Chain A
């Protein structure tokens, strides 16, 4: 039967779909509400909220204190030889402050779908016309803002306790690099969230990936310390070029390892990871719905 006749007999449904402003507006609103929802749930656990604000500082301190204990102060001649600066504290801080944002991709986004499954709300979300990716992005946004608060606390404590040698004029370009890094990390995070749907022990995958990225990213050591193969592999992830680029702008005398134009590199990585992420997510979505795996824990 023709569509017109169908519409006459059956009830019309008012729902924007497709590539148009109305649908984009509706999807963005869903992302925003997902972001608000996550904050509301977070504030329902105030002790956890406070603890998670200080945990970036807790995990930074061992790197700092260990580094200082190794060299007996905050200056390392060997580090200066490698990257032009021997300031152990500033070097580690600028590295570690980004690690929490890797956690956004790997843990927050990776666990976004699984967390909805744990709440029991995954199927209820799935039967709505909004994009599932929107949910994941809403949670990513929440985690990013959360992590930003944690980073500010890190900065304040470390600055007051140890002092930091940062160039103020480097902050804006560093933020631009940071934004490009987050774009690529979101794409990576979409891949992880898709894997979280099909793997029973998804947290294992998240932990493995986080640890690998931690090793391949020059967080607490220059990239040159890694074997050649690892250095080349690090180019596939946004954290290595982002860290090197940000340090070049923020730290005096920092001689960046050769990574070409960091902005172009990150743009290319961002586009690649986002496209790849969307592809994997779509494929996994179909796979999970075919196998009836939405409810499985």
Chain B
């Protein structure tokens, strides 16, 4: 006789939840081939205007001011890296929240919440499936960018970049747990996700060097994991440095990740219990 969920070891059953959530989300995504093709190719169109703007303003492919601030005047790869890493923010901040809203809309959210498993693992499963699809899309976009804009990528560069991307994703998991917690409590959590996204977009160096912002804005940027990820990845890809040259930023990113994950995990479980007690389950 097969064991029931209660009789299985806790870690194993939690990992089982994560795995099944990944499978479910992946199968759902595969049911929409148009959307897959869209995300694999189309985000490039969003940063083309910035590249054209650069050409109009500096009359070439290098900005003297960028070189002065960041050490590299190449604004095209600067923009491409910002756009691709920012796409993880989009999918993890909005994607997980959107996933939960879809569950609420379809009517399955109540059943998920009533299940005996720890819901944080359901969210981790959602976040991992979003990260996996984001990574596939990022690789596709990077490949197209390399072909279109003549960027050079080597394996020696990609390994540390991949490591930093994982660190970025971990920090974003923490944020998405926080977003999910608010999704349960408040009907307008979508607006909160969007607002957090706005803050990332303006205060992190997605389109411009963080040093070009006023000091007060740079301080806000220091609380955002994307800021460190972008600085590190650009150092590696544009300046040819390795991780040891940016170890301070790597350590800070790790610390920010740990804080976000712990706070996110704790808050999510606390709010989930609270909503079950009070009977508020958010629906759109």
Contact = CB atoms under 8 A, between A and B. Distances in A.
Question: Do A and B share a direct contact in the complex (Cβ within 8 angstroms)?
Answer: yes
Interface of A: 45, 47-48, 51, 54-55, 58, 61-63, 65-72, 76, 78-79, 81-82, 88, 200-201, 204, 207-208, 211-212, 214-215, 219-222, 225-226
Nearest to B105: A118
Instruction: Give the 9 A-B CB pairs with smallest separation, nearest first.
Output: A72-B65, A221-B56, A78-B59, A211-B45, A69-B212, A220-B53, A69-B208, A62-B207, A47-B188
A286 B191 CA distance: 37
B35 to A, nearest CB: 6
Given A69-B63, A69-B69, 15 more contacts: A55-B198, A66-B207, A66-B208, A70-B54, A70-B75, A71-B58, A72-B64, A79-B56, A201-B35, A201-B38, A208-B45, A211-B45, A215-B49, A221-B55, A221-B56
Contact of B48 (A45, A82, A215): A215
A221 B52 contact: yes
Contact of A65 (B52, B190, B195, B207): B207
A74 B190 CA distance: 35
Interface of B is mostly: helix
A208 B42 contact: yes
Contact of B209 (A47, A58, A69): A69
Contacts of B56: 76, 78-79, 82, 220-222, 225
Given A65-B212, A72-B65, A45 B57 contact: no
A79 B57 CA distance: 5
Given A62-B201, A201-B32, A51 B49 contact: no
B208 A62 contact: yes
A170 B12 CA distance: 70
Contacts of B202: 58, 61-62, 65
Interface of A is mostly: helix
B216 interface: no
Contacts of B209: 69
Contacts of B42: 207-208, 211
A76 B38 CA distance: 35
A81 B55 CA distance: 13
A279 B210 CA distance: 50
B96 interface: no
B32 A51 contact: no
Contacts of B201: 58, 62
B169 to A, nearest CB: 23
Contacts of A81: 59
B38 A207 contact: yes
Interface residues of B, number: 40
A211 to B, nearest CB: 4
Given A65-B213, A70-B65, A211-B46, A51 B38 contact: no
A257 B194 CA distance: 37
A215 B52 contact: yes
Contacts of B244: none
Contact of A51 (B45, B194, B206): B194
Contacts of B38: 201, 204, 207-208
A111 to B, nearest CB: 15
B278 interface: no
